Structure 1
């Protein structure tokens, strides 16, 4: 028999999970069409903000979903034996133009773990690489402990 116990994570536990993980799933929507992508991120626990680098092709699907500072949901999760943890951040994703970048943005983005390699079917000069910031208006974490032991 499986016994589950679900508890809300404290702010400190939520920040710790976001600090040790390096990837999550960013979900966007346009009208009734959903779009979700795995991404790497940087997180500032003192400000509780994310910085994300998103790469798209001009006129591509991702670019279409990123117009007009969309509302997004960002999910980070981990499994550690019988314990599952997840954090959900909801808010508006804002483009960070190069002219608006501050040392703080660069420092936060520097914490983002980027893939060791990226493969694109286009040359780098044909890709749009942009930084975005997510200052969530909702940020919550959950922990689920599962006990599979039988008596």
Structure 2
């Protein structure tokens, strides 16, 4: 009985993990490849940004339990780009409207610049079809994935 009990616990732990918890919803390398293949310019990226973007996943690159994928509930955090302004919504409530532009640094890399920082928008900006990634992990921030909804 002493030998069987540890095996029961191990089997229970293995089967208690769901595939969603262990498998990343996005392949970062594929995301980068799609971005590079599109040959984004600041003009084409600005045009693609127009509309509503809903935060759908974050990946926190901290230590211990915080190093995981987290799905974000619908409409928790939205960005709405309209020309040179961006409206920031939290739980469907307009928090603020800011002027934005692409920051001038690192050659062709895209960085969002606003008068005040906007949470979930730190790091290099990448597109993969109707998904957008703010890659904050190189500087120990989180990676934030948005989906275009309008």
* TM-score under structure 1 length normalisation: 0.30
Structure with higher helix content: 2
Larger Rg: 2
Structure with higher strand content: 1
